[in-house]
A and B are shown apart, each in its own frame.
Chain A
Amino acid sequence: MDIICFELKKIFNIKSIVLLVLINIIMYFLFIEFEVTHFPNGRPALDIYNMFVEMENTYGEFMDEEEFEDFKLKYEEAVKEADEYIQSRKDFKMAGINNYEDFANMDHENEELYELYSDVIFKKKIDVFWELPWREEYIRYYENKEELMLEPSSNEKQELRIKEILDKGLETSVFNDVIFSNYNEFIKSAAKTILLSVMFIITPIYLKDNKDKINYLQYTSKTGRKIFKKKIFAGVLASFILVTVQFICFFIMYSTNNTSMFFNCNINSIYNSIISWYDLTFIQYIALTVIGTYILAFVFTLIPMLVSSISKNYITAIGVQLPIALFSFTILLKYLIDYMTSIFRFPKYFTGLFYMILIFASTISMIIRWKREKRADILY
């Protein structure tokens, strides 16, 4: 136990921690900050977000037929509000626009009319005019929900799954793409930062000792070559601690996005951009991506360890891991974290299987390395 404690201290030495914090700050400002400070990002995202918060408040997690009637009423009210605004302005009357319907069907090619349009939309930014097209759109979605849901399916299994969702009525869930895609961007960048940090902190674990020739001392001690195993344990523990701390920090940042009211809403909504293999609520989806990141972090603890134990200098360790890191951050994360469990990405069990394969492959290669380490010659 003592050895593990010392190893942890070695991993979290003050120099590494300072660099780690700097790396995290830079990654935060380069990739994550935007998703946190610019949510909802401009308009109409803001209007859609407000609309869904209101819907969640009044209808709860799902919007049934009765509540849909109420939603339509709200639309009528909003139209009335827009009408009143239009009628209160003289320039609209001059241009022959008397109500919202005229406004919506306005000819944008006509410069004079377009001037009026951009005045309301872009200069004065009147809320109700931003909101109305989306209310209309979402009423249309709800009315045609079955067709719209079934439309993108390209094979039988996907179709079956969509029918299952329709049977359960999950598609009426009050949940929107504005929130979901923002979360996906956020978690992708967070995972990138986490994996990079883990790689950074784990890579020197064997290399440092081997370079300083401390391994010969370690071999002759009572613990002997078992130190290799203890280091694995210490490394995994260290990355677990690191990932947890990072997740806490990142989710504190994310909490400023104010999406907690949607935690219990199903993600398979007609207003959302994912159709999942599973009936997940938003909080379950978050949990799933967090677990996924933990698994990846585990794999990305073992890979640097392996590299660390076989490379002779730091340049080799960096050079080997650089392509791995670039590949994972640009391609792997896109498939394993982003839009996880979407039916259009992989067959149902593929994602789980892929994670399993990653865990097994990295564990087995580490076991092989340990077997070799036991018999390794110390002369080279």
Chain B
Amino acid sequence: MNVRMNEFKKVLSSPIILGLLILFIVFNSITIFKSSYFKDDLKVLNEVVAKFGYKIDDEMVNRLKEYYEEQINRLNEITEKRTAKRYSSVSEFYKDNFYNMEDVYSEEEKMFIRNLGIIENYYYEIGQVDELYSNIDIIAKGEYEIKKYGLSGKAADTVRNQYREFNERFHQLIRNGEHKNLFFMGKVYKMHSLLFKTIFKTIIFEIVILSVLITLYLINYEFDCNTEYIIYTTKRGRNLIIDKLCIAICSNLLVATIIIFTALSLYFTIFNYSGLWNVPISSYFNAEYSFPYMSWWNMSFKQYLFLSILVIYASMMLFTGIAFILARAIKNNYIGFFVFAIVFGLFLTVPNMIPRNTNLIFIGGFTPFFLIMNPNIWFMENEALVTFKYYELSTISIWTVLLLILSVLSVKRFKRQDI
């Protein structure tokens, strides 16, 4: 146990790893703060959800309508008092009063109008959901993706099959009414991209960088300090490498947890998600562009977040494994780090050169390197190359098995290695 503690101390006492960790946390906080300017606008939805619930059904729509009309009447009371005009909606009001709002209305009234405008937006969008979803054609989307990536032959057939399968899921989604739920309006605030793309991608890259550095540092520490011969002659001897791997994994877990915890706790204190945790991630309101986000399974925001964090941990483990194998093969950490970067680059560039008419093209997608590039579309229908139902799960499990075998071989070789 003592040896492991001492190994752990090596990580903790390394100023560079701690320094990078703090730098990354500061950077994440800045990223989150930078987009916090619209957090007050989001609160309007929390209030609406608290009053009417997030599920959109006839009863809820009617109650919302009543409420909305009541508020419009209040708006008209205000406007009549100030300008003797009546409006049927806030957008009409804005059209009329875009420039001279400043002096006519008090702060409180402006706030009221602004919030009512937001409610109006949601109210109007609710009315459009059914029509929008009746126009969505999953098979056509598949064809579009095939064209976009220039696929043909067998590769195109595979994508077509996937989209046919997803089409069933799409109908199930409609039957469940997963799309008819209130959520922060994606087209305006892009909360899904902010959390799962901007923040998660930064977090993942930070975790990958740190875990590779920690793993290289620990595994090659003895060679770095020229103490390997002392280690070899001890009772524990070359088994030390297994302790090192364990500690590397533990410290990476710790580092990942610290980064994820600090970033997410800051995020969720700034942005209030109360009442929205159980909204399905495939909600129409989550959509940011013309095509909505649609998950392969019926899952809530909470579940999606939890699974995404799990994927981050899993990819961290995979990268630790890759770094371990590299560290074992290359004793010079400097070369090792750059070889890792090169391997990363190769896994991103080489698949592009595979001919696009065979199923081989999909192999390039099933790597942890490709997996971490788009965290915002995990578990979802997404671009042609990775739109498989169990894409995340299979990538992680295939690579776990692969890396386990390689690690065992690598450790065995290490034990029999010549001095």
Of the candidate stretches A18-26, A166-174, A225-233, the one touching chain B is A18-26
**Residues of A contacting B349 in the complex (Cβ-Cβ under 8 angstroms):** 26, 29-30
Contact call A19/B345, Cβ cutoff below 8 A: no
The 6 closest A-B CB pairs, nearest first, are A26-B345, A319-B16, A314-B334, A314-B333, A29-B349, A315-B217
How many residues of A are counted as interface, with CB atoms below 8 angstroms from the partner's CB atoms?
23
B114-156 CB mask vs A (1 if < 8 Å, else 0) is: 0000000000000000000000000000000000000000000
A91-116 CB mask vs B (1 if < 8 Å, else 0) is: 00000000000000000000000000
Contact call A315/B16, Cβ cutoff below 8 A: yes
Given contacts A19-B338, A314-B333, A315-B217, contact A30 B348 (CB under 8 A): yes
Instruction: Name the distance in Å between A300's Cβ and chain B's nearest Cβ.
Output: 16
Contact call A22/B342, Cβ cutoff below 8 A: yes
Instruction: Name the distance in Å between A36's Cβ and chain B's nearest Cβ.
Output: 15
- Please list 29 pairs of residues, one from A and one from B, whose beta carbons are closer than 8 Å in the complex, sorted by A's number: A23-B338, A23-B341, A23-B342, A23-B345, A26-B342, A26-B349, A29-B349, A30-B345, A30-B348, A30-B349, A203-B334, A313-B217, A313-B333, A314-B337, A315-B14, A315-B17, A315-B213, A315-B217, A316-B15, A316-B16, A317-B334, A318-B337, A319-B16, A319-B17, A319-B213, A320-B16, A322-B20, A322-B209, A323-B23
**Residues of B contacting A313 in the complex (Cβ-Cβ under 8 angstroms):** 217, 224, 333
Query: Which listed residue, B17, B335, B341, touches A15 by the CB 8 Å rule?
Result: B335
Closest to B217 in A: A315
Is B262 close to A, CB under 8 A? no
**Residues of B contacting A322 in the complex (Cβ-Cβ under 8 angstroms):** 20, 209
Is B6 close to A, CB under 8 A? no
Closest to B214 in A: A315
Q: Complex: how many Å from CA A317 to CA B224?
A: 13
For residues 206 through 260 of chain B, which have their beta carbon under 8 Å from a beta carbon of chain A? 209, 213, 216-217, 224
For residues 200 through 214 of chain A, which have their beta carbon under 8 Å from a beta carbon of chain B? 200, 203-204, 207, 211
Query: Which listed residue, A15, A318, A319, touches B19 by the CB 8 Å rule?
Result: A319
Instruction: Name the distance in Å between A76's Cβ and chain B's nearest Cβ.
Output: 37
For residues 27 through 45 of chain A, which have their beta carbon under 8 Å from a beta carbon of chain B? 27, 29-30
Given contacts A22-B342, A23-B341, A204-B334, 8 further A-B contacts (CB under 8 A): A15-B335, A26-B345, A30-B349, A211-B224, A314-B334, A315-B17, A318-B334, A320-B16
Closest to A22 in B: B342
Most buried by A among B332, B334, B352: B334
Contact call A315/B333, Cβ cutoff below 8 A: yes
**Residues of B contacting A318 in the complex (Cβ-Cβ under 8 angstroms):** 213, 333-334, 337
Q: Complex: how many Å from CA A204 to CA B16?
A: 17
Q: Complex: how many Å from CA A358 to CA B213?
A: 29
Most buried by B among A200, A313, A315, A317: A315
Q: Complex: how many Å from CA A316 to CA B352?
A: 34
Most buried by B among A27, A203, A316: A316
Closest to B209 in A: A322
Q: Complex: how many Å from CA A318 to CA B338?
A: 10
Q: Complex: how many Å from CA A142 to CA B334?
A: 56
Is B346 close to A, CB under 8 A? yes
Is B339 close to A, CB under 8 A? yes
Closest to A26 in B: B345
**Residues of B contacting A26 in the complex (Cβ-Cβ under 8 angstroms):** 342, 345-346, 349
Q: Complex: how many Å from CA A22 to CA B332?
A: 18
Measuring CB to CB, which residues of chain A are less than 8 angstroms from any residue of chain B? 15, 19, 22-23, 26-27, 29-30, 200, 203-204, 207, 211, 313-320, 322-323
**Residues of B contacting A22 in the complex (Cβ-Cβ under 8 angstroms):** 342
**Residues of B contacting A204 in the complex (Cβ-Cβ under 8 angstroms):** 334
Q: Complex: how many Å from CA A15 to CA B338?
A: 12
Instruction: Name the distance in Å between A193's Cβ and chain B's nearest Cβ.
Output: 12
Q: Complex: how many Å from CA A320 to CA B15?
A: 10
**Residues of B contacting A211 in the complex (Cβ-Cβ under 8 angstroms):** 224
Q: Complex: how many Å from CA A22 to CA B23?
A: 30
B322-359 CB mask vs A (1 if < 8 Å, else 0) is: 00000000001111011101100110110010000000
**Residues of A contacting B16 in the complex (Cβ-Cβ under 8 angstroms):** 315-316, 319-320
Q: Complex: how many Å from CA A317 to CA B16?
A: 9
**Residues of B contacting A15 in the complex (Cβ-Cβ under 8 angstroms):** 335
Q: Complex: how many Å from CA A320 to CA B335?
A: 16
Query: Which listed residue, B20, B23, B217, B342, touches A19 by the CB 8 Å rule?
Result: B342
Closest to A19 in B: B338
Q: Complex: how many Å from CA A116 to CA B339?
A: 54
Instruction: Name the distance in Å between B11's Cβ and chain A's nearest Cβ.
Output: 11
**Residues of A contacting B17 in the complex (Cβ-Cβ under 8 angstroms):** 315, 319
Instruction: Name the distance in Å between B27's Cβ and chain A's nearest Cβ.
Output: 9
Q: Complex: how many Å from CA A323 to CA B345?
A: 19
**Residues of A contacting B342 in the complex (Cβ-Cβ under 8 angstroms):** 19, 22-23, 26
**Residues of A contacting B346 in the complex (Cβ-Cβ under 8 angstroms):** 26
Query: Which listed residue, B20, B339, B352, touches A319 by the CB 8 Å rule?
Result: B20
**Residues of A contacting B339 in the complex (Cβ-Cβ under 8 angstroms):** 19
Q: Complex: how many Å from CA A358 to CA B16?
A: 24
**Residues of A contacting B335 in the complex (Cβ-Cβ under 8 angstroms):** 15, 19
B1-39 CB mask vs A (1 if < 8 Å, else 0) is: 000000000000011110110010000000000000000
Contact call A200/B338, Cβ cutoff below 8 A: yes
Closest to B14 in A: A315
Q: Complex: how many Å from CA A3 to CA B381?
A: 61
Q: Complex: how many Å from CA A22 to CA B343?
A: 10
Q: Complex: how many Å from CA A23 to CA B342?
A: 6
Instruction: Name the distance in Å between B178's Cβ and chain A's nearest Cβ.
Output: 32
**Residues of B contacting A319 in the complex (Cβ-Cβ under 8 angstroms):** 16-17, 19-20, 213
Most buried by B among A19, A318, A322, A323: A318
Instruction: Name the distance in Å between A148's Cβ and chain B's nearest Cβ.
Output: 26
**Residues of A contacting B23 in the complex (Cβ-Cβ under 8 angstroms):** 323
Q: Complex: how many Å from CA A320 to CA B16?
A: 7
Q: Complex: how many Å from CA A320 to CA B346?
A: 25
Q: Complex: how many Å from CA A317 to CA B334?
A: 9
**Residues of A contacting B337 in the complex (Cβ-Cβ under 8 angstroms):** 314, 318
**Residues of A contacting B216 in the complex (Cβ-Cβ under 8 angstroms):** 315
Instruction: Name the distance in Å between A285's Cβ and chain B's nearest Cβ.
Output: 30
**Residues of A contacting B217 in the complex (Cβ-Cβ under 8 angstroms):** 313, 315
